[in-house]
Structure 1
Amino acid sequence: MAQNLKYANTGTNSQVSLLELSSVDHTCFYIEQVLSGGHGLMVQGYYPLVKAMAKDIDIRLNHRVKRIANGYNKVMVTIEDGSNFVADAVIVTVPIGVLKANLIAFEPKLPEWKLAAISDLGVGNENKIALLFDKVFWPNVELLGIAAPTSYACGYFLNLHKATGNPVLVYMAAGRFAYDLEKLSDEAAADFVMLQLKRMFPDATKPVKYLVSRWGSDPDSLGCYSYDLVGNPADIYDKLRAPVGNIYFGGEAVSVDHQGSVHGAYSAGVMAAENCRKHLMERLGSGDKIQLVSCREEILEATVPLQISRM
């Protein structure tokens, strides 16, 4: 149970609030509004989805935002090279880790209730070490778990060969363990993972290639996804997603029902965009007074064909 809790929330067990859990007949489970269809793995990654959604949209890459100035009718966004963009409103969907680190300066400063909500939400870390081999030497199962004396050193391998046909295992590390792995070089991290694998398969071959993530130290993420800290106030999500003037907030951290998930980030973004649109219609006199969209009225429309493996 402790290990499942760590991976589901990417935080340490002592930090995660038990308000996220319920107990029935001594069995703990997450209070989460699960979408129908079960879990699936995107065989081609998220690129097909991103490509379809980005069609006909002006997207600027490598534009790291450093400052957002909130005026009466306009918002000015300043990026790293000093260039400015002016708009009627802005939707902020950066990871919660970036907001917690104050890497974006807001002018005027965000109100205390907003800063408290950002501070009160936890952000965890989960890293992956992908290993490509020249052949498969493991059984055709979805996961290969590692038992350890403490939950700190526990981990598991995701078998991508079962889903994609490629001889790839992905080692998953979460919580404090994930941060400690980031202190190692890519080679040292891969060597450590191979030691764990050889305990299960002594004849395991060396990987042909490996890829190591570092979400905890990546300046564009500073963590993986959010979770409830012990003692969080009940209205934290209301405050997180509440707009401040012409600035709106989206992302997985503001999704009550689907926190820490891609569909949660998407639906929260749709909600923020719709609320922003209605706000501008009211301000510009293009419509009657309209209530803001509730987080539980998020609408998902699946229009992109995707290759999904149920493992």
Structure 2
Amino acid sequence: MKVAIVGGGLAGIAAAHTLLGDADVSEVHLLEAAGGYGGRARTDSKSIPGFAFDMGAQYIQDPTTNPLTEIAKDLRFETVEEDASYELRVDEDGTWKNVATTDPEVLAVVNGIQLSYNAARAQPNVVVAAKPRFDTQVEMFGHATSPYGPFTESAETWQYLAADRAREVAGDGAENLFVKRGVGTLVAAYGQLLPTLYKDRYKARFDTRVSAIAHAGNGITLTLGTSGTLAVDACIVTVPVAVLGSGAIKFEPALPAAYTNALKALRLGSYKKLALKLRTDPAGIVPGTNYYLIEAEPEGVWQCYRLPHAPDVLVGHAAGDFAAALDAMADKDVFDLFKAGIQSAFDGVYFTTGKAITNWSANPNALGAYSYTAFIGGGPQDPGPLKARSDLGVPLGKLHFAGEATNLQCYGTLQAAYFEGVRAANAVLA
């Protein structure tokens, strides 16, 4: 059996390992539009020498159940437990102070969001809450740090379905693991095992964009841009749902309504990350503590921190509508905005020239960060959007779709991509 995999992220890599473990698979062709493995898990180790800047996934979540934990051990990647605390940095009458997540005002906001979530979760097509007005800094902080806020889904609370979130399985409670050389480096190393282990049956083609997939009849034919075609017995497509929804790949015949409707409901939120090399050791920014700063224009919340194993770098995150606004700005303007906010809130913060930044929304191979299921009309009892993940994961003859977006229980994570790649590969082998 000859199989094509479209996409070289973790879902595609896991699918390839699974397929090649079966002797009945004679050839696996992995086709990736970018220049290497990783997908949305990529590490930039060049912009700031000595620092592994994870542009996408940045740690191993739920390490006791996450396959990447064992993969990291097998490949001898050193990991470090995350032991983080969270504080809001606020300016009150000209004096800066920290507000903890346990502050009563913050808890009141979080509890309010929880009540909205509880009321909405039983209905398949209702968002967690209406878009709130951020009247105070504490309200923004409570929203951002709630279990349903933007830093958990890369989409603001009012954009995704409560019922989708309700079926997500709770984590294992263990501390997340940072990978010192970068999660993206780990994923790439796992991909680079494939030609070593299966050199006679495996072929990867990078910088290769699939423009069309013909899936009528018993076989599948892929059009590889200007590089000709590839005929296979089965195909697993692992590219992000935003790329599929954009029409970048033409399917012949067109996908049935269940799949096109799923792609309308499944969106990729915005997530912005940047890193700056510190010239000083600011006492007010304690390594291991996550600080939240309110930005007035564009309105949003910065999350920033120094990693205990890399305290000479300051990392900043933004999500949801705020990140989308930042993505529309020039990189220099984003850096200047972030630095101005940091230097206003903390004393003695100065930077060198080392810096790194992401813009997943503008990346043609991603068009966004992590998936969420959006309200698309049809009334609160319309089951269509809630079925989007499972509908997209149903095999269409010999054509299969897989990725974090098709997972029901831990979507938006690297382990979801791994699990879905394995699921699709096993469906091909069945």
CA distance in 2, matches of 1:73, 1:180: 46
Instruction: Specify the alignment match of 2:190 in structure 1.
Output: 52
Unaligned segments of structure 2, at least 5 residues: 1-109, 111-142, 196-201
CA distance in 2, matches of 1:171, 1:185: 16
SS of the residue corresponding to residue 362 of structure 2 reads coil
CA contact (8 A) 1:144 1:159 kept: no
TM-score, normalized by length of structure 2? 0.59
Counterpart residue identity of residue 3, structure 1: A
CA distance in 2, matches of 1:199, 1:122: 35
Offset at 1:227? 1.0
The correspondence of residues 232-271 of structure 1 with structure 2, limited to 5 A, is: 233=384, 234-271=386-423
Offset at 1:21? 5.2
CA distance in 2, matches of 1:220, 1:156: 26
Counterpart residue identity of residue 426, structure 2: E
CA distance in 2, matches of 1:151, 1:34: 33
Offset at 1:150? 9.8
The correspondence of residues 39-118 of structure 1 with structure 2, limited to 5 A, is: 39-46=176-183, 47-55=185-193, 56=195, 57-118=202-263
The alignment-based identity, stated in percent, is 24
Q: Describe the shift of the 1:79–1:136 C-alpha distance in structure 2 as closer, same or farther (beyond 3 A).
A: farther
The correspondence of residues 1-311 of structure 1 with structure 2, limited to 5 A, is: 1=110, 2-4=143-145, 5-20=149-164, 31-35=168-172, 37-46=174-183, 47-55=185-193, 56=195, 57-137=202-282, 138-147=285-294, 152-160=299-307, 162=308, 164-230=309-375, 233=384, 234-278=386-430
Question: How far does the alpha carbon of each residue in 1:1-43 deviate from its partner, in whole angstroms, 9 at most, with x for none?
Answer: 4213122111233212222456xxxxxxx84342463322222
Offset at 1:242? 0.6
RMSD of Structure 2 on Structure 1 (CA): 2.2
CA distance in 2, matches of 1:95, 1:107: 19
Counterpart residue identity of residue 42, structure 1: V
Mean CA deviation greater in 113-122 or 252-261 = 113-122
CA distance in 2, matches of 1:208, 1:74: 53
Counterpart residue identity of residue 220, structure 1: N
Counterpart residue identity of residue 212, structure 1: I
Counterpart residue identity of residue 169, structure 2: E
Aligned residues: 269
CA distance in 1, matches of 2:175, 2:164: 20
CA contact (8 A) 1:89 1:276 kept: yes
Instruction: Specify the alignment match of 2:72 in structure 1.
Output: none
Offset at 1:136? 2.7
Offset at 1:180? 1.3
Q: Describe the shift of the 1:158–1:203 C-alpha distance in structure 2 as closer, same or farther (beyond 3 A).
A: closer
SS of the residue corresponding to residue 167 of structure 1 reads strand
CA contact (8 A) 1:96 1:225 kept: no
Offset at 1:53? 3.8
Mean CA deviation greater in 249-258 or 116-125 = 116-125
Offset at 1:185? 1.9
CA contact (8 A) 1:189 1:212 kept: no
CA distance in 1, matches of 2:364, 2:257: 24
CA distance in 2, matches of 1:36, 1:245: 39
SS of the residue corresponding to residue 159 of structure 2 reads coil
Mean CA deviation greater in 76-85 or 269-278 = 76-85
Question: How far does the alpha carbon of each residue in 1:134-172 deviate from its partner, in whole angstroms, 9 at most, with x for none?
Answer: 343232233122145799411111323x1x335111110
SS of the residue corresponding to residue 267 of structure 1 reads helix
Unaligned segments of structure 1, at least 5 residues: 23-29, 279-311
Counterpart residue identity of residue 54, structure 1: Q
CA distance in 2, matches of 1:152, 1:20: 27
CA contact (8 A) 2:280 2:348 kept: no
